């Protein structure tokens, strides 16, 4: 009679993959077993997962058993070509699942499901903050309490913003949810903790006069294209750097935002990621070319064609290389300082574009489509304070009543 397939997962430790099985002795006592695969964590995940599956099936079929000595017997029944030379059968013994290990296991599990930049951000957070904190305390995932998490959040609040702590909470919650699906946990402690309150975000922006002065001063500067696209169309850095000539239609006087260039730290290396997909489906949008923008782009295209440079991207450096978002951020900050402008982030030009649209009476729904927000809620939460049309009417009525 076959047994139930035991819960199990692949974990990463000291640069190697291990198989973790959650078993029960004959007495019903639970025990966790670690099986060394001998595989390095580079390029071996699929193989380790197949090995996990064979172990689980072997235990379910009865060919592999947990002995009274607490060791797995029958591993020799696994064919030699399905084992590693370093000893597939070597056991580390049963021990609690550390929360730090569970976090790393969840990260490995979602690796192929996430965008490269998203995964890089998650890994940086988990490996630089979460794992060191919980590993130092040797905190067990099974024994984790709401008070443990609240203490962690309180420590974080001393040096980090509420929004950062919310991000930590979300990652921990997902890792614990993963542990529940694998059968190691019976509850998600993160659901019992009050989530930190999100800090309201107030976008900085230039007013109309500041935007006009900036656009005038930036003419002829390598930043001109980036500033134009951000002020007029509210493009993100990644969208500015990713705009290609094939996306610009001079016949129908429009351009399509569909390609992005992003920076990310992947496996310790600073990389530039180019992809034919924007941040969200809403970010994939068609925008009309204004007459002056079309004239500017045509002149730029003629200049690049004469120079015989470029690989299809519109925005190039003087040496012909493509521009990356980090370069835009750095040069923009330098430009503002050298020319005596009030400091804002490059992304705040996007807010400046939206604030001007709202001041001119453009409906929120149209601003949402122009900026490529995934939800009208996002647009309203960021730009609601720009909606001062009714306030001006109220002020005029109040002044009329009191002063006249």
CB 336 within 8 Å of CB 352? no
Average pLDDT over residues 372-399: 64
Please tell me which of 24-38, 163-177, 193-207, 262-276 the model is most confident about, judged by mean pLDDT.
163-177
Q: 318-377, pLDDT tens digit by residue?
A: 777 888 899 999 999 999 999 999 999 999 999 899 888 888 888 888 888 898 887 777
CA angle (362, 367, 371) in 5-degree steps: 150
**pTM (two decimals):** 0.62
CB 38 within 8 Å of CB 86? yes
Encoded tokens for 315: 């925005």
Q: 230-273, pLDDT tens digit by residue?
A: 999 999 999 999 999 999 999 999 999 988 888 776 666 667 77
Which class for 127: exposed (0-12), middle (13-18), buried (19 or more C-beta within 10 A)? middle
CATH class of residue range 208-389:
mainly alpha
Domain with CATH 1.10.150.130 in the chain: 97-199
Q: How confident is the model at residue 305 (pLDDT cuts 50, 70, 90)?
A: confident
- Please give the torsion angle defined by the CA atoms of residues 141, 145, 146 and 150, in that order, rounded to the nearest 10 degrees: -80
Domain with CATH 1.10.443.10 in the chain: 208-389
CB 283 within 8 Å of CB 259? no
The SS3 call for residue 294 is: helix
Write down the pLDDT at residue 345: 94
Q: Which CATH architecture has domain 97-199?
A: Orthogonal Bundle (1.10)
Residues 6+ apart with CB under 8 A from 299: none
DSSP string, 197-248: PPPPP------HHHHHHHHHHTTTSTTHHHHHHHHHH---HHHHHH-BGGGE
- Return the CA Rg of the chain: 28
Q: How many helices (H) and strands (E) does the chain have?
A: 15, 10
CA angle (298, 299, 302) in 5-degree steps: 85
Write down the pLDDT at residue 12: 81
The SS3 call for residue 349 is: helix
Q: How far is CA 139 from CA 132, 144, 152, in A?
A: 11, 7, 12
Nearest to 164 by CA among 118, 209, 196, 211: 196
Which class for 80: exposed (0-12), middle (13-18), buried (19 or more C-beta within 10 A)? exposed
The residue with greater pLDDT, 400 or 286, is 286
Q: How confident is the model at residue 87 (pLDDT cuts 50, 70, 90)?
A: very low
CA angle (198, 374, 351) in 5-degree steps: 70
What is the separation of C-alpha 150 from the centre of its chain, rounded to a whole number of angstroms? 24
């Amino acid at each position: 009679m076959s047994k139930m397939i035991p819960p199990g997962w692949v974990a990463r430790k000291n640069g190697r993959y291990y198989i973790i099985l959650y078993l029960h002795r004959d007495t019903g006592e639970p025990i966790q077993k670690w099986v060394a695969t001998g595989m390095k964590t580079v390029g071996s995940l699929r193989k380790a997962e197949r090995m996990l599956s064979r172990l689980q099936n072997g235990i379910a079929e009865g060919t592999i058993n947990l002995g009274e000595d607490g060791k797995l017997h029958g591993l020799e029944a696994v064919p030699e070509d399905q084992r590693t030379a370093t000893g597939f059968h070597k056991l580390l013994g049963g021990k609690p699942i550390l929360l730090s290990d569970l976090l790393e296991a969840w990260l490995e599990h979602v690796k192929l499901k996430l965008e490269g930049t998203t995964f890089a951000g998650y890994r940086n957070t988990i490996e630089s903050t979460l794992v060191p904190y919980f590993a130092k305390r040797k905190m067990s995932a099974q024994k984790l309490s709401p008070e443990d998490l609240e203490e962690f959040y309180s420590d974080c609040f001393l040096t980090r913003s509420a929004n950062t702590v919310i991000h930590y909470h979300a990652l921990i919650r997902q890792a614990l949810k993963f542990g529940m699906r694998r059968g190691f946990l019976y509850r998600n402690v993160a659901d019992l903790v009050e989530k930190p309150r999100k800090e309201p975000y107030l976008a900085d922006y230039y007013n109309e006069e500041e935007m006009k002065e900036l656009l005038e001063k930036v003419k002829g500067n390598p930043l001109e294209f980036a500033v134009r696209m951000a002020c007029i169309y509210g493009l993100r850095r990644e969208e500015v750097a990713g705009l290609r000539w094939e996306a610009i239609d001079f016949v129908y006087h429009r351009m399509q935002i569909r390609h992005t260039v992003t920076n990310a730290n992947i496996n310790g290396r600073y990389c530039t990621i180019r992809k034919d997909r924007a941040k969200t489906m809403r970010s994939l949008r068609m925008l009309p070319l204004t007459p002056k923008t079309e004239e500017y782009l045509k002149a730029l295209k003629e200049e690049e064609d004469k120079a015989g440079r470029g690989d299809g991207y519109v925005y190039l450096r003087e040496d012909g290389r493509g521009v990356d978002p980090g370069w835009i951020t750095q040069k923009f900050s330098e430009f503002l300082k050298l020319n005596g402008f009030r400091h804002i982030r490059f992304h705040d030009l996007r807010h400046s574009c939206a604030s001007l649209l709202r001041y001119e009476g453009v409906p929120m729904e149209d601003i949402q489509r122009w900026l490529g927000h995934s939800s009208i809620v996002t647009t309203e939460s960021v730009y609601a304070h720009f909606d001062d049309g009714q306030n001006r009417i109220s002020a005029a009525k109040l002044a009329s009543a009191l002063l006249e």
